[in-house]
Chain A
Amino acid sequence: MIRFILLQNRQGKTRLAKYYVPLEDSEKHKVEYEVHRLVVNRDPKFTNFVEFRTHKVIYRRYAGLFFSLCVDITDNELAYLECIHLFVEILDHFFSNVCELDLVFNFHKVLVLP
């Protein structure tokens, strides 16, 4: 099960956050900070999976943006990895050649998608 979806840039600014588990706001900020720290320094040659607390973060980097999904430890990692790509393809289609600015100014449209 997907616990949350995060879209962050390299500086750690959240561009989109969607939680499917009830978290307090302070907890959300902590999670966003930790996930960013976790993924930002990873080498592109590394795996797309990182353990995060008792879950797993599946992430993928597109230019300066990190798309991260937090899923259960037993979930199928590659399937979720391709979910991210599918989402990005949809964004690309929607904004025709998507870039970070599109997502910043149209965050309200992006939210309609997931």
Chain B
Amino acid sequence: MALSGMRGLSVFISDVRNCQNKEQERLRVDKELGNVRTRFKNEKGLSPYEKKKYVWKMLYIYMLGYDVDFGHMEAVSLISAPKYPEKQVGYIVTACLLNENHDFLRLAINTVRNDIIGRNETFQCLALTLVGNIGGREFAESLAADVQKLLISSSCRPLVRKKAALCLLRLYRKNPDVVNVDGWADRMAQLLDERDLGVLTSSMSLLVALVSNNHEAYWSCLPKCVKTLERLARNQDIPQEYTYYGIPSPWLQVKTMRALQYFPTVEDPNTRRSLFEVLQRILMGTDVVKNVNKNNASHAVLFEALALVMHLDAEKEMMSQCVALLGKFIAVREPNIRYLGLENMTRMLMVTDVQDIIKRHQAQIITSLKDPDISIRRRALDLLYGMCDVSNAKDIVEELLQYLSSADFAMREELSLKAAILAEKFAPDLSWYVDVILQLIDKAGDFVSDDIWFRVVQFVTNNEDLQSYAAAKAREYLNKPAIHETMVKVSAYILGEYGHLLARRPGYSPKELFTIIHEKHPTVSTSTIPILLSSYAKILMHTQPPEPELQNQIWTIFNKYESCIDVEIQQRAAEYFALSRKGASLMDILAEMPKFPERQSALIRKAEDAEVDTAEQSAIKLRAQQQMSTALVVTDQRPPNGMPAQPSIGPLSLVKVPSETVDSQNPGDQGLTHPNGVVYKEDPQPPSQDIIGDLLGTLSIEGPPGAVAQSPQSATYEAEGAPSAADAAALVPVGEESGSVQPIGNINERFYALCLKDSGVLYEDPNIQIGIKAEWRAHQGRLVLFLGNKNTASLGSVQALILPPTHLKMELSLVPETIPPRAQVQCPLEVMNLRPSRDVAVLDFSYKFGPTMVNVKLRLPAVLNKFLQPITVSPEEFFPQWRSLSGPPLKLQEVVRGVRPLPLPEMANLFNTYRLTVCPGLDPNPNNLVASTTFYSETTRAMLCLVRIETDPADRTQLRMTVASGDPTLTFELKEFIKEQLVSIPTAPQRPQGPAAPPPPVAQITAPPPAASQDPGALLAGLL
């Protein structure tokens, strides 16, 4: 093997291993690093073998955890070596050392691409592996097309194609546009017919990622997935090398079932029947066997099948089979299976109504709560938390409390938070709730956040019947010799407020209360002292008639703290002291606290925040959301994150219907819940023609109608605006308000038109029109925004914010807060271009008309071509320039496919509109086009750019483009810019002053959601 026998490397590794201590090792490593560094400096004398060896040493040192801050260049340069051994080392080391954000990678793109499109299979594989390992956005943009081609090519060997599939998957994750190609769904379906299991497995991975994002486009793949599953699980029709311990490729089975979970249902009855047959076979036919690996593999398949059954909402019979299986699993000894049993039971709670059956296993689950393995305990806790409702809350919470004292520290915080939430949500009576929280503080005071005790105080304050009970309880806890500081806080607060209610009982006289609270005083920290002072003051106030002895005691304390270094304490002490000498006013000021306004529990909010999952969206969650959007779902049945909502939440009115808050905090959710328990379906695609633009889709005014009517204070109509709306009481029919502030005309089209001309309308709706006029000089520009009020009433709260991309410096002059009726306001906007870039600036504009707040986000036409100045060059100037800019990164060449076929003169016209001057006669070939322009930015100053387009008269859909300039970024950005203009231009550009100028697919710049094809403007244009 080419790698073997690198003696120097082995010697070095042995040396490092023989080091007695860390210090010696560091010395040895430093010596080696020095050696490598000097060798690299003088690169001429280095043979390929040596270079390879040093790069390996570097990697070894890096793996040991030392910083290696040089030699990246050498590693990358090995990639372009002609021979396999060096090339391979280059690829592997690059993949380990660099990540997608490294600039060095850019240097390698061309070589990698050449290897991918080259003929050498081994090189193709190496290159694909590298891209699959670290491919970033830039790789995605420049390589995706080639990788796609490899994947569907019929001449490549399966080995290459399966790598291509995984590589494409990686690129897709970085940039979903890579599969935004017409007919890709069909190709995907074809790929699933593949006989080679390697290619099929990789393609299935790709499909899972695709459907998780957008299943609509891939319906045609569904029956194929079912077929694949049948082939594997029923017919076992696969080659020997793909069976794993006798199981036909468990990984492919798992992936296939995962893909199926992203489709909402299986409609075709035949497909459905065959799918269930297979699932049934898996559910029934999986036995526990002795061999661990076989067991694991078969259960991996089984658990995926369970998830799929849950998702498909199979007939009751199958579901009960699942529950029975899970019930069996949570009782087995094998830890992995028990873990998964618990985990899947928790998932099952979210999708179906099986709570009663699961409750039967409660005792078993509680046993798992005491398992020595923390992973299992966590799952058990989650499950208990999920299955808790009014009927079993008492049992479960008490179990949790009991466990709290023995639980390990890693879990106590979570445990106490969950216990507190359950107690609050499902308390059968209020005193029980107070008991639970006080016990919680007693047992795990360190882990009880302030939120928890704030909450119990709020409860007690708001419920009069609870006050004396709570006071008595607090008094009991204070009797204990050592109590947690949080307990001191709660007890002191409650006794200060409500101690007087019990004054007649023995042991509750003001003096006794004071003594028992003050006993704790020496042990507390400064954060508790203010609370103690307040409760002393309250006790003093409640002591009628005053007891001079008590008064003196308390005054002494106040006196002492009047010189405290802590401002809060000092102020309280001084004020209470002064107040308590005034008698009557003390009564007023220290009177009982008023009730707290009803608010959402901070605890529940916290729990929800914690549950926001950064990982990939699970199929189940996705499903929960789909359930949401099927209109008019009663709130109570909506499963909020991780816990089933309950129809009744006990007498604690403070807890509002739990799911309404969940909605608003889950921006992905489509529904908006109103307090009366109805979820409105919100159509993500407004029926109107005026789509705000792919880019701005969810940000704009198609927001929940309720918010429009009821919360003028909400800044935008995004989901964030929802909680206040949900709190409001009235019910507004869905369609009534939504029509009120729709933009007039297509915002996208207006933007594209303004990219080509310098004045026009940027945005218009029934209330306002925003016009724009621009002047561009070199790298600077001056735009004037004309804000015109179309109404006879004035527009208020006008706000304009510019969100500039990093390459633009933009300054907007002051925008007045109100625009008078029928008036127009001009706001100049200064623009300075710092660097070449295709990013687009956004104007965040909002105003208020009547109670309605309108917010729109508009792209500003300060785009790349605005900083171009047309220039004509003569052949004498052109050719020397062209030659001096040789090769990447200053000169880039790309073959562009999928170009909209245009006759040459039309293409020349298009170029001229973008201020690229076409210079006829420079290229002898009449099928070619040469253009020149000057680009201005602060960093590049005036920079000459040269473009050459070579078209193929036989095939107008492809061309070769070469762009050259003196700045690598500029060359790249300009190339991409031109490419975007050429690829699938929807309309001919020179329609004489058409109302809607051609919308070139600029949307690609800013990565539109896959909904791009639904843009009616683009569809319309496509038809023309």
Partners in one complex: yes
Q: Mark B350-377, 1 if CB is under 8 A from A, else 0.
A: 0000000000000000000000111110
- In the assembled complex, which residues on chain B have CB atoms less than 8 Å from the CB atom of A20? 133
Q: Determine the residue in chain A with the shortest Cβ distance to B99.
A: A22
Q: Mark A63-103, 1 if CB is under 8 A from B, else 0.
A: 00000000011101111011101100000000000000000
In the bound complex, what is the Cα–Cα distance between A23 and B89 (angstroms)? 22
In the bound complex, what is the Cα–Cα distance between A17 and B65 (angstroms)? 11
B63 in contact with A76 (CB, 8 Å): no
B92 in contact with A79 (CB, 8 Å): no
B616 in contact with A1 (CB, 8 Å): yes
In the bound complex, what is the Cα–Cα distance between A104 and B15 (angstroms)? 12
Q: Determine the residue in chain B with the shortest Cβ distance to A21.
A: B99
* Contacts A81-B336, A108-B59 given; does A46 touch B3 at CB 8 Å: no
Count of residues in A whose CB is under 8 Å from the partner chain: 44
Chain A, interface SS category:
mixed
A54 in contact with B613 (CB, 8 Å): yes
Which residues 4-63 of A have a CB within 8 angstroms of B? 13-20, 22-23, 25, 29, 32, 42-43, 45-51, 54-55
Q: Determine the residue in chain B with the shortest Cβ distance to A89.
A: B293
* Contacts A29-B65, A77-B336 given; does A46 touch B375 at CB 8 Å: yes
In the bound complex, what is the Cα–Cα distance between A14 and B99 (angstroms)? 19
B618 in contact with A49 (CB, 8 Å): no
A79 in contact with B96 (CB, 8 Å): no
Q: Does B978 contact A (CB under 8 A)?
A: no
- In the assembled complex, which residues on chain A have CB atoms less than 8 Å from the CB atom of B845? none
| Contact pick for B616, options A74, A79, A86, A105, CB 8 Å | A74
In the bound complex, what is the Cα–Cα distance between A96 and B946 (angstroms)? 59
- In the assembled complex, which residues on chain A have CB atoms less than 8 Å from the CB atom of B299? 78
A17 in contact with B63 (CB, 8 Å): yes
A47 in contact with B615 (CB, 8 Å): no
Q: How far is the CB of A112 from chain B (nearest CB, A)?
A: 7
Q: Determine the residue in chain A with the shortest Cβ distance to B100.
A: A22
Q: Does B111 contact A (CB under 8 A)?
A: no
B60 in contact with A47 (CB, 8 Å): no
| Contact pick for A43, options B100, B297, B372, CB 8 Å | B372
Q: Determine the residue in chain A with the shortest Cβ distance to B169.
A: A1
* Contacts A78-B299, A79-B250, A108-B56 given; does A49 touch B375 at CB 8 Å: yes
Q: How far is the CB of B964 from chain A (nearest CB, A)?
A: 31
In the bound complex, what is the Cα–Cα distance between A51 and B410 (angstroms)? 12
Q: Does B10 contact A (CB under 8 A)?
A: yes
B99 in contact with A86 (CB, 8 Å): no
| Contact pick for B300, options A18, A29, A43, A78, CB 8 Å | A78
In the bound complex, what is the Cα–Cα distance between A57 and B67 (angstroms)? 26
Q: Mark B375-399, 1 if CB is under 8 A from A, else 0.
A: 1101000000000000000000000
A73 in contact with B613 (CB, 8 Å): yes
B340 in contact with A78 (CB, 8 Å): yes
B336 in contact with A74 (CB, 8 Å): no
Q: Mark B233-260, 1 if CB is under 8 A from A, else 0.
A: 0000000000010000011001000100
B99 in contact with A19 (CB, 8 Å): yes
Q: How far is the CB of A107 from chain B (nearest CB, A)?
A: 6
* Contacts A43-B373, A47-B335, A78-B299 given; does A54 touch B614 at CB 8 Å: yes
Among A20, A74, A77, chain B packs the most CB atoms within 10 A around the CB of A74
Q: Determine the residue in chain B with the shortest Cβ distance to A28.
A: B65
Q: Determine the residue in chain A with the shortest Cβ distance to B97.
A: A25
B615 in contact with A73 (CB, 8 Å): yes
In the bound complex, what is the Cα–Cα distance between A77 and B337 (angstroms)? 10
In the bound complex, what is the Cα–Cα distance between A68 and B477 (angstroms)? 48
Q: Does B17 contact A (CB under 8 A)?
A: yes
Q: How large is the interface on B (under 10, 10 to 19, 20 to 34, 35 or more residues)?
A: 35 or more
| Contact pick for A46, options B13, B335, B616, B619, CB 8 Å | B335
Q: Determine the residue in chain B with the shortest Cβ distance to A57.
A: B375
- In the assembled complex, which residues on chain A have CB atoms less than 8 Å from the CB atom of B67? 25
In the bound complex, what is the Cα–Cα distance between A17 and B95 (angstroms)? 11
Q: Determine the residue in chain A with the shortest Cβ distance to B59.
A: A108
| Contact pick for A14, options B65, B254, B373, B378, CB 8 Å | B65
Q: Does B339 contact A (CB under 8 A)?
A: yes
- In the assembled complex, which residues on chain B have CB atoms less than 8 Å from the CB atom of A74? 615-616, 618-620
- In the assembled complex, which residues on chain B have CB atoms less than 8 Å from the CB atom of A46? 335, 372-373, 375-376
Q: How far is the CB of B67 from chain A (nearest CB, A)?
A: 7
A49 in contact with B339 (CB, 8 Å): yes
Q: How far is the CB of B326 from chain A (nearest CB, A)?
A: 15
Q: Mark B39-59, 1 if CB is under 8 A from A, else 0.
A: 000000000000000001001
Chain B, interface SS category:
helix
A79 in contact with B133 (CB, 8 Å): no
Q: Determine the residue in chain B with the shortest Cβ distance to A78.
A: B300
A104 in contact with B616 (CB, 8 Å): no
In the bound complex, what is the Cα–Cα distance between A45 and B375 (angstroms)? 12
B101 in contact with A83 (CB, 8 Å): no
In the bound complex, what is the Cα–Cα distance between A107 and B374 (angstroms)? 33
- In the assembled complex, which residues on chain B have CB atoms less than 8 Å from the CB atom of A54? 613-615
A72 in contact with B616 (CB, 8 Å): yes
Q: How far is the CB of B201 from chain A (nearest CB, A)?
A: 12
In the bound complex, what is the Cα–Cα distance between A13 and B613 (angstroms)? 31
In the bound complex, what is the Cα–Cα distance between A108 and B53 (angstroms)? 10
Q: Determine the residue in chain B with the shortest Cβ distance to A86.
A: B244
Q: Determine the residue in chain B with the shortest Cβ distance to A73.
A: B615
In the bound complex, what is the Cα–Cα distance between A17 and B575 (angstroms)? 63
In the bound complex, what is the Cα–Cα distance between A31 and B936 (angstroms)? 45
In the bound complex, what is the Cα–Cα distance between A77 and B258 (angstroms)? 13
In the bound complex, what is the Cα–Cα distance between A59 and B220 (angstroms)? 37
Q: Does B984 contact A (CB under 8 A)?
A: no
- In the assembled complex, which residues on chain B have CB atoms less than 8 Å from the CB atom of A45? 335, 372-373
Q: Does B304 contact A (CB under 8 A)?
A: yes
- In the assembled complex, which residues on chain A have CB atoms less than 8 Å from the CB atom of B917? none
* Contacts A22-B99, A54-B615, A76-B254 given; does A82 touch B336 at CB 8 Å: no
- In the assembled complex, which residues on chain B have CB atoms less than 8 Å from the CB atom of A32? 65
- In the assembled complex, which residues on chain B have CB atoms less than 8 Å from the CB atom of A109? 1, 3
Q: How far is the CB of A68 from chain B (nearest CB, A)?
A: 14
Q: Does B148 contact A (CB under 8 A)?
A: no
In the bound complex, what is the Cα–Cα distance between A43 and B251 (angstroms)? 28
Q: How far is the CB of A55 from chain B (nearest CB, A)?
A: 6
Q: Mark B597-639, 1 if CB is under 8 A from A, else 0.
A: 0000000000000000111101110000000000000000000
Q: How far is the CB of A10 from chain B (nearest CB, A)?
A: 15
- In the assembled complex, which residues on chain B have CB atoms less than 8 Å from the CB atom of A107? 59-60, 63
Q: How far is the CB of A13 from chain B (nearest CB, A)?
A: 8
- In the assembled complex, which residues on chain B have CB atoms less than 8 Å from the CB atom of A17? 63, 96
Q: Does B570 contact A (CB under 8 A)?
A: no
- In the assembled complex, which residues on chain A have CB atoms less than 8 Å from the CB atom of B338? 47
- In the assembled complex, which residues on chain B have CB atoms less than 8 Å from the CB atom of A47? 335-336, 338-339, 373, 375-376
* Contacts A22-B101, A51-B378, A85-B293 given; does A14 touch B336 at CB 8 Å: no
Q: How far is the CB of A109 from chain B (nearest CB, A)?
A: 6
In the bound complex, what is the Cα–Cα distance between A49 and B168 (angstroms)? 29
- 9 closest cross-chain pairs (CB), A and B: A78-B300, A22-B99, A74-B618, A46-B373, A72-B615, A79-B300, A47-B335, A47-B339, A54-B614
Supplied contacts A54-B614, A79-B250, A109-B3, 15 more A-B pairs, CB within 8 Å: A1-B616, A13-B64, A14-B64, A17-B63, A18-B96, A32-B65, A46-B375, A49-B375, A74-B619, A77-B300, A78-B303, A81-B300, A81-B336, A82-B293, A108-B56
Selected A-B contacts with CB under 8 Å, 26 pairs: A1-B616, A14-B63, A14-B64, A17-B63, A17-B96, A22-B136, A42-B373, A45-B373, A46-B373, A46-B376, A47-B339, A49-B339, A51-B378, A54-B615, A74-B619, A76-B254, A77-B339, A78-B297, A78-B300, A81-B296, A82-B251, A82-B297, A85-B293, A104-B17, A108-B59, A112-B88
A interface list, Cβ under 8 A from B: 1, 13-20, 22-23, 25, 29, 32, 42-43, 45-51, 54-55, 72-74, 76-79, 81-83, 85-86, 104-105, 107-109, 111-112
B interface list, Cβ under 8 A from A: 1, 3, 9-10, 13, 17, 56, 59-60, 63-65, 67, 88-89, 92, 96, 99-101, 133-134, 136, 173, 244, 250-251, 254, 258, 293, 296-297, 299-300, 303-304, 335-336, 338-340, 372-376, 378, 613-616, 618-620
